[in-house]
Chains A and B, each alone.
Chain A
Amino acid sequence: MAEKKYRVVHYLNQFFAQIGGEAKANIPPLIKEGAVGPGIPLQQALGEEGEVVATVVCGDSYFAENIEAAAEKVVELVCPYKPDVFVAGPAFNAGRYGIACGAACSAVSNKLGIPVVTAMYQENPALDLYRKEVYVIPTADSVRDMKEAIPKMAGFMRKLGLGQEIGLPQEEGYFPRGIRVNQFVGRTGAERAVDMLLSKLRREPFQSEYPMPTFERIPPSPAIKDLRSATIALVTSGGIVPLGNPDRIEAASASKFADYNIAGVDDLTPDAYQTCHGGYDPTYANDDPDRVLPLDAMRTLEKDGTIGKLYDLYYVTVGNATSVANARKFGKAIAEKLKAAGVKGVILTST
């Protein structure tokens, strides 16, 4: 008998693992030998090349209520089997199951470095949470789609198992992850632009090379009721730093933010402060850094009682080519610190 080419571990919830329904949704992670439930047709689809050596199971409620711990336990259980591929689901439109599949795949990928894949419906809330880090195969919205889902998953798993390169989402059949990858192609940008315009003018189909991005929306915070007693903080993406840029915040693509103490400082002057932002003419900010970080104005408003206090620290980064992912990270971290310090409002300035 030919030796199996790659080993697979499969993740299922308590229902598909045939342990029980909702009543068993609280079971913690456990592992069984071989294929179980949908793992059996999956094994058939993998044929002689792949072997489902084990199946990890966890109750949907248990996972949802203990995501980190459950994911860690899954990794622990999977590790000794040394699989070449880890597959979870299909979860179809089940939210908790989708999250468990995504989280399990993410943990196995990060901790064990094993290629992972899961499958779910496009409206499953878990999709947007995990699609960037985990391959997700589209399915329909219910278990009726199992017959279609299995061969799609098997085909993709085969590629992962054999170490083959995964191509574009539209070629390989997975949800676009929103990851941009550079490539040299056969024609120049100018040639492609003229071709694209000609197609558009002729009303022929064309493919835009980048779909318009969307940004998340957050609900507005409540208004400040009592400004006169509130502590207000200043934050800027305009790169205002102490002279010499002591923390070496980059002129572009900032990898960090910093805080500086302004207690007792009434005015930002060029002998003590500068800008380190490379994306705008620095002349004016260097002549008077208050133009970007309005410290002098805020001191006036503190002294006349308009605000209770200007927070002793200000936060700064450089918003030049800095990625949204990093900016989000910085924003969250700064917000946590300000909240912990009792700051009630923030004026964020940008250039």
Chain B
Amino acid sequence: MRLELGIIKIEDVQFGEETTIKDGTLYVNKKELMALALQDNRLSEADVELARPGEEVRIIPVKDVIEPRVKVSGPGELFPGMIGKIGTVGSGRTNVLRGAALVTVGRIIGYQEGFIDMTGPGAQYSPFSETNNVVLILHPIDGLAGHAHEEAVRLAGLRAAVYLGEACKDIAPDELEVYELSPVDTALPKVAYVHPLLSEGLLHDTWFYGVDAKKILPTLIHPNEVMDGAIVSGNCVSACDKHTTYHHLNNALIKELYRNHGKDLNFIGVIVTNLNVTLADKERSSDCASKLVKLIGAEGTIITKEGFGNPDTDLMMLCKKIEEYGIKTVVITDEYAGGDGGSQSLADAVPQADALVSVGNANEVITLPPMKRIIGDLKSAEAIAGGFVGCLTAGGGLNVEIQSIMGSTCQLGFGKLTARGY
């Protein structure tokens, strides 16, 4: 499987008569985008706003972030099984609007949506302070049940991202990234990536080729498959460590393993598994995933995680079982060490987890200034995870945990945040 990503660099976003790209600017036809979103009659209202890096803008509450892409050639359609036809993806050519993002916002469904600050001290905690954001604000019809509301917003977001992506189908890319697991020196150690997906119910779900990840058994995939949207987010498990669809498309660990493929290691594949709500499921999935790691001949694995709390048990089960097969593991996790950093950071522990990368303490409290413009509803800060009644200061500043910031402690290893022991 050989995938070329045609990178089109976006440096600005503006409204325009036509959705198109010109000289690095993405122009958006607002009316068309709104109409597209409202094709789903579960949604009653749609609006579009733009937010650029450096602007004094706060976007809240955010459900998902998706990178606009378009399939130029090769089998399959983007987001297969969701809005695209089912079919294996990850080869041919896909163009990418790098530097742009589609952000879905709207009345809160659950408690776990988050926010993005485009400037100020909060900006460095989110990768989306650096993207030119097309923000799609969506409202459900009255009385719409939670599951239907979540689905309507999820699909609208994907459609919108594809709609924007279409604009660059025929544009010559600025750069070409090639992803191929070419044969390498057999002496290099074989490394596999174990990738658990959150699958715990409403606003805690993930979709794999259109199927609810609750229902899958661990399986082996080619890393390219995520780049065409085989994995889609259906959750807001806490903004800080939710894998947005953008994070899935741009999986940082996959990119890093590719960078080292052929140099220091032999990247042999990705094992996707789930994070279910019963003990039996956790045991079964970790049994199957670790067995797969062994069967494909891995010598080392890196295990990531989505969410926290009971997923710590899945992480520890995977680590323990893989190490018991004689395969070396490294685990990437965030921490919930309390506001003072003095509490235990994980809910579960095994002695085999001796190589751990920390992407930061999500309970760290941060004070953020008011922003000139709010896209969405600022008051929702009091209801989201990491926020609390009274976290809004007079004038619209925020006193919240970084838990509420989109992507601040993403456990795919995107960011440069860590925690150290003092």
Contact = CB atoms under 8 A, between A and B. Distances in A.
Assess A/B contact in the complex (Cβ within 8 A).
yes
Interface of A: 132, 166, 168-169, 176-194, 196-198, 200-201, 206, 208-215, 248, 250-253, 255, 276, 278-283, 319-321, 323-326
A253 B361 CA distance: 13
Contacts of A132: 342
Interface string B388-400: 1100000000000
Interface in B196-211: 200-204
Nearest to B388: A250
B111 A280 contact: no
- Across the A-B interface, the 3 shortest Cβ-Cβ residue pairs: A281-B201, A323-B338, A278-B111
B265 interface: yes
B260 A189 contact: no
Given A197-B328, A251-B383, A184 B124 contact: yes
Interface string B45-85: 00000000000000000000000000000000000000000
Contact of A180 (B203, B265, B421): B421
A201 B351 contact: no
A278 B385 CA distance: 7
A193 B332 contact: yes
B415 A321 contact: no
Contacts of B373: none
A281 B357 contact: no
Interface string B127-157: 0000000000000000000110000000000
Interface in B350-364: 350-351, 353-364
Interface in B277-334: 277, 299-302, 308-309, 328-330, 332-333
A210 B358 contact: yes
Contacts of A213: 344-346, 349
A202 B206 CA distance: 35
5 contacts: A189-B414, A191-B256, A194-B302, A198-B189, A278-B112
Contact of B342 (A169, A179, A188, A278): A179
A190 B111 contact: no
Contacts of A177: 342, 421-422
Interface of B: 110-112, 124, 146-147, 189, 191, 200-204, 237-238, 252-253, 255-257, 260, 264-265, 277, 299-302, 308-309, 328-330, 332-333, 335-346, 349-351, 353-364, 383-389, 401-403, 410-422
Given A250-B388, A253-B363, A321-B336, 13 more contacts: A179-B341, A190-B256, A190-B413, A194-B260, A197-B329, A200-B300, A201-B300, A210-B356, A212-B353, A278-B384, A280-B201, A320-B309, A321-B386
Contacts of B147: 283
B412 A190 contact: yes
B256 A210 contact: no
A197 B346 CA distance: 21
A212 B414 CA distance: 23
Contacts of B351: 212
Contact of A215 (B329, B335, B344, B411): B344
Q: By DSSP majority rule, is chain B's interface helix, strand, loop, or mixed?
A: loop
B302 A179 contact: no
B312 to A, nearest CB: 10
Contacts of B253: 190, 193-194
A281 B275 CA distance: 13
A88 B417 CA distance: 36
Contacts of B329: 197
B357 A189 contact: yes
B155 to A, nearest CB: 19
Contacts of B252: 188-190
Contact of A192 (B260, B349, B413): B413
Given A192-B357, A324-B338, A183 B386 contact: no
A252 B386 contact: yes
B338 A169 contact: no
Contact of A325 (B342, B364, B413): B342
A324 B312 CA distance: 15
Nearest to B303: A193
B255 A208 contact: no
B111 A251 contact: yes
A117 to B, nearest CB: 14
A210 B413 contact: no
Contact of A182 (B264, B364, B386, B414): B364
B265 A320 contact: no
Contacts of B110: 278, 282
B136 to A, nearest CB: 23
Contacts of B265: 194, 197-198, 201
Contacts of B337: 179-180, 323
Nearest to B412: A190
Contacts of B112: 251-252, 278
B131 to A, nearest CB: 17
Contacts of A179: 337, 340-342, 421-422
Contacts of A192: 357, 413, 418
Given A177-B422, A198-B265, A252-B111, A189 B413 contact: yes
A180 B362 CA distance: 11
A248 B354 CA distance: 39
Contact of B357 (A181, A193, A198): A193
